[in-house]
């Protein structure tokens, strides 16, 4: 029916129809007056996968920080006992543990069983291995992030010859194969400090330095690109006109606006370092003097161990997979939550 032939009732009904509502109006009201960080936290809270991953990461952090009290609560420790007290040494081939599945009954004295041949408690080594992995990865991430942010700020803001020089160093470090460098540095450290009383601490420190040296370049490139865009903004130009010192512009004006890319870089760097720490320990060039998930996996890859006592391998391996996967998924969720273009 055309508008010319429509009756009064029809025209009245057409004029009283509600106008189309903007689907984003409610969302706009919800985020009005909130800071970008609060908006991001709200998005993360609504993301079920992010919440589950955050709980898993928090669990590992608690295990790492309170490894000593948790071990004491279960009555386990890193002390090496007499193997004959926990392992059946009369068994031909592999001396099987006498407690813990699959060869023995479950016991609260050793909830995760004991290691074959040595009788070392698996729970204690799992907890302290978690502490070592997170400690090394978190420390290396902190140092690499600080170096990357400073280099990126200077290269992006100063430009010119400084930018060219710093970009050259970034590209130079990116061309060095990390594994080859680690294989070269590890024997030097082993020969130099092998007889030292603090050899374990020196190994951990050297690993942190190596990870930091070869882990800052991605952050530096990311920050440099962001600063190149921000330095042309009005608030930076106004600060320059006012004669504000370069240091103040960098750390008071630019740095607060780089929170999102820095958080994203850290969330992606941390799981990489966790996996690298375990992988290097497995190859024998990481933490070899002390407790490490990678060292436990190296011992457990013995074919006899894997066939007769598979949980000795699966326990640290599942810990690494769960931690790295949770950190990666949480990092992706953080990246999406901080991106203003997403509608999650």
Tokens 């006592």, residue? Answer: 309
pLDDT at res. 342:
56
- Residues 6 or more apart whose CB falls under 8 angstroms from that of 95 comprise 83, 87, 88, 89, 116, 117
Alpha-carbon span 255 to 262, nearest angstrom: 9
Output the average pLDDT for the chain. Answer: 79
Instruction: Walk me through the domains of the chain, giving residue ranges and CATH numbers.
Output: 48-78+121-338 (1.10.3720.10)
- What percent of the chain is modeled with pLDDT above 70? 76
**Containing H/E element for 131?**
helix 122-158
Structure tokens at 181: 């460098």
Comparing 152 with 76, the larger pLDDT belongs to 152
pLDDT tens digits, residue range 84-114?
A: 555 555 444 455 555 556 566 666 777 787 7
Alpha-carbon span 221 to 290, nearest angstrom: 35
Q: Is residue 8 pLDDT above 60, yes or no?
A: no
Tokens 């942010």, residue? Answer: 149
Q: Is residue 79 pLDDT above 60, yes or no?
A: yes
Q: How many residues does the chain have?
A: 344
CA distances in angstroms from 276 to 120, 147, 148, 197, listed in the order given? 25, 19, 19, 26
What are the helix (H) ranges across 159-216? 160-174, 178-193, 199-213
Query: Is the peptide bond between 84 and the residue preceding it cis, with omega within 30 degrees of 0?
Result: no
Alpha-carbon span 257 to 150, nearest angstrom: 14
- Residues 6 or more apart whose CB falls under 8 angstroms from that of 339 comprise 260
- Residues 6 or more apart whose CB falls under 8 angstroms from that of 219 comprise 144, 145, 147, 148, 149, 152, 262, 265, 269
User: Which of 20-34, 269-283, 301-315 has the highest average model confidence (pLDDT)?
Assistant: 269-283
């Amino acid at each position: 029916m055309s508008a010319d032939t429509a009756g009064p009732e029809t025209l009245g009904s057409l004029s009283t129809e509600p106008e189309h509502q903007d689907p984003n109006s409610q969302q706009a009201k919800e985020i009005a007056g909130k800071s970008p960080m609060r908006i991001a936290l709200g998005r993360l809270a609504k993301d079920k996968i992010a919440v589950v991953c955050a709980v898993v990461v928090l669990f590992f952090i608690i295990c790492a920080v309170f490894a000593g009290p948790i071990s004491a609560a279960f009555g386990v420790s890193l002390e090496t006992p007499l193997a004959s007290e926990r392992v059946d040494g009369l068994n031909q081939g592999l001396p099987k543990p006498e407690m813990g599945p699959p060869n023995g009954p479950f016991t609260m004295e050793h909830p995760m069983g004991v290691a074959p041949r040595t009788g070392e408690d698996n729970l204690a080594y799992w907890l302290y291995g978690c502490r070592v992995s997170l400690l090394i990865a978190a420390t290396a991430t902190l140092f690499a992030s600080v170096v990357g942010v400073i280099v990126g700020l200077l290269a992006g803001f100063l430009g010119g010859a400084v930018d060219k020089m710093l970009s050259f160093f970034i590209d130079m470090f990116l061309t060095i194969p990390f594994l080859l460098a680690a294989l070269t540095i590890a024997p030097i450290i082993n020969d130099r400090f092998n007889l030292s009383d603090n050899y374990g601490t020196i190994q951990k420190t050297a690993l942190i330095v190596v990870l930091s040296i070869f882990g800052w370049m991605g952050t530096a490139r990311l920050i440099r690109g962001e600063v190149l865009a921000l330095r042309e903004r009005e608030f930076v130009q106004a600060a320059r006109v006012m004669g504000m010192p370069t240091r103040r512009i960098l750390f008071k004006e630019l740095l607060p606006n780089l929170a999102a890319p820095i958080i994203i870089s850290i969330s992606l760097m941390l799981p990489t370092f966790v996996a690298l720490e375990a992988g290097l320990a497995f190859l024998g060039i990481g933490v070899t003097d002390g407790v490490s998930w990678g060292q436990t996996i190296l011992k457990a890859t013995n074919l006899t161990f894997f066939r007769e006592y598979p949980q000795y391998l699966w326990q640290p391996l599942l810990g690494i997979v769960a931690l790295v996967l949770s950190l990666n998924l949480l990092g992706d969720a953080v990246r999406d939550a901080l991106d203003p273009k997403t509608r999650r």
